[in-house]
Amino acid sequence: MTQEDFLVIGAGLAGSEAALTLANAGARVKIFEQKPKVFSAAHKLPGAAELVCSNSLKSTELSSAHGLLKEELRLLNSPLIELAHQARIPGGKALTVEREKFSSLVTTALKSHPLITFCEEQVSELPEDKKTLIASGPLTSDGLIKNILKICNDDGLYFYDATSPVVYLESLDMEKLFWANRWDASGLDESKDDYLNLPLNREEYLKFRENVLAAEKTESHIAGEELAYFEGCLPIEELARRGEDTLAFSCMRPIGFQSHLPKRAHAVIQFRRERAAGELLNMVGFQTRMKWPEQEKVFRQLPGMEKAEFARLGAMHRNTFINSPLHLNEKLQIKRAPHLFMAGQITGSEGYTEAIATGHYAAMAMLGAENLPATTAMRSLVRYMITSDPKHFQPMNFNFGLLPELGFKIKERGQKKQTKSERNQIRSERSLKDLKEWISEPKSQMPFKNSWSKTA
């Protein structure tokens, strides 16, 4: 391939999305991925776009924040959203994928694209003038993060994250569990439901919490460093520590199962299918930093899990991110080095869909596209990242609170007061209306084609 137009560092969700978006617009791209030569503490698969903590990209409903974000990406012809649908497995109203298949599809798309050169090598030095996207993720190598922070003249920020265990279905005692999707009254039909549920009475719940608190935990990776967490994805040990019923009101909340739940149930553990065949189940919301022998001990004391076998146990890792309000502008360029762009979790955008969104957003900026409408989810997420108080900046999932105010009181639009879901639907409709108008409008001259224009 001739001289490339852009470089992309990292073939995670953000980097893969950006590389394919750039190439689909006619640009020549070289993407660097350190795997399979070098693996981080959390990655296991050799290919691109590996999902680490969960296999769900969350809700597809337009009354949900993640549903809106995915719909915007779909309208903009997001390569990874399309591939995620190809790798989709049952997961209720969520876009849940088979991890290995999704990674394989993305890897093939990158390696087979005629305008993309895929380089399996680790990068530590940054180019001095070539337009480059840094999408190396929260587990960026020491050498690269030192160079990024040197350019930013900053020490950087961090938080500790963890993954959930994955258990073999056949090792569970099915007499003590039931199949049902939360808020779905379709009945106890295994063929129709995507979640397996383990109900606990109050005594069982309190014993489980006691065991979690007593278990030996993994400490911080740097001696003496505080274990700072991302509030949107707390490990179960931290939830248990915060109060007697905090777990029961978060990842173990016993609501939405109608008559399926036993009357004495105080909490519920949910398992989500990890693969299409359903032989592997992910423990939903059970990120944990318990040491591996302790996890097996604690979980096997739960009813129905006495003989549980694990395909993967939970693990903790340290995530690094930059102080985006100080260092990035609205195009996700580093202010001190405008030829360098950043996207993904390293910027402080938290979540799978958010990583894809910031990767797509950065690619559009690199192509010279005009800014997206201020009312869109993608623009609002970036606005949060670059305008927050740098003294208190923390990772954030996209939520409806990041959108601009509507400018009118929703309850005045009809005779009855709308529900939260209906109000969110109205917000989504405004965002999508403005985005569709933006897509259909003629654009100023760009050096590359509009890869999103075919939806006009």
List, for residues 19-43, the tens digit of each pLDDT value: 999 999 999 999 999 988 877 666 6
Mean pLDDT of 74-91: 95
Q: Which two tokens stand for residue 257?
A: 């199962």
Give the residue with greater pLDDT, 52 vs 378: 378
pTM over 0.75? The answer is no
pLDDT value of position 239:
94
**Confidence at 185, pLDDT banded by 50, 70, 90:** low
- Which residues have C-beta within 8 Å of that of residue 178, sequence separation ≥ 6? 188, 196, 197, 199, 260
Query: Which DSSP helix (H) or strand (E) runs through 159?
Result: strand 157-162
Highest mean pLDDT among 140-149, 316-325, 395-404, 430-439: 430-439
Residue 454 — very low, low, confident or very high, per pLDDT cuts 50/70/90?
Answer: very low
Supply the pLDDT for residue 349.
Answer: 87
Give the per-residue pLDDT at 223.
63
pLDDT digits (tens, 9 = 90+) for 279-326: 788 899 999 999 999 999 999 999 999 999 998 888 776 778 888 999
Q: Which whole-number Å values give the CA distances from 450 to 76, 230, 365, 413, 441, in the listed order?
A: 10, 36, 12, 37, 12
> Residue 153: left (phi > 0), alpha (psi -120 to 50), or beta?
left
pLDDT of residue 1: 44
